[in-house]
Amino acid sequence: MEILGIGWQEVIFVLIIALIVLGPKDMQKAGRTVGRWLNQLVKSDGWKVFQRTSSELRNLPRNLMREANLEMMKAENEIRSAIDPRPGPPAASRGPAVEPGSKPVEAAAPGESNQGDEAGNASNQND
């Protein structure tokens, strides 16, 4: 895991150098000071703006692709409507397809069954 491009080996190296230079007592004071400074930094409004901007930049390619896809879909629909300007009902609302020469089957009322009719139709077709 790296933080700001610094791995754990570098952090340990910096801590050892700080311990040698500052000594054990001054190291505690320096640690508290750095901790307070980082706490204030993370709670500041500037840090929140930085995080929000960073998030927007990370999501920018995805958002651009989504917008481009929507534009392509709009252009495709415009082209399709220019090619075939006839307004037609959607395919789902057209109903079942009926073969030429056959009569359409009516839907049964709730509680009724078409099974007897279907059996009768099957026997008529065999004649």
Question: Is 6 within 8 Å of 15 (Cβ atoms)?
Answer: no
State which residues form the domain around 56: 45-80
User: Model confidence at 102, in pLDDT bands (50, 70, 90)?
Assistant: low
Same domain, 15 and 50: no
pLDDT at 82: 87
pLDDT at 27: 83
Same domain, 10 and 39: yes
C-alpha–C-alpha distance, residues 23 and 94, integer Å: 85
Q: Read off the pLDDT of each residue in 80-95 and give the average, rounded to a whole number.
A: 66
pLDDT at 69: 92
pLDDT at 74: 93
Could you give the number of structural domains in the chain?
A: 2
Same domain, 62 and 39: no
Same domain, 20 and 51: no
- DSSP secondary structure letter of residue 94: S
Same domain, 6 and 20: yes
| Predicted TM-score of the model (pTM) | 0.38
In a domain, 66, yes or no: yes
C-alpha–C-alpha distance, residues 28 and 10, integer Å: 20
Q: Which runs of consecutive H residues, i.e. helices, occur in the chain?
A: 8-43, 45-83, 115-126
In a domain, 17, yes or no: yes
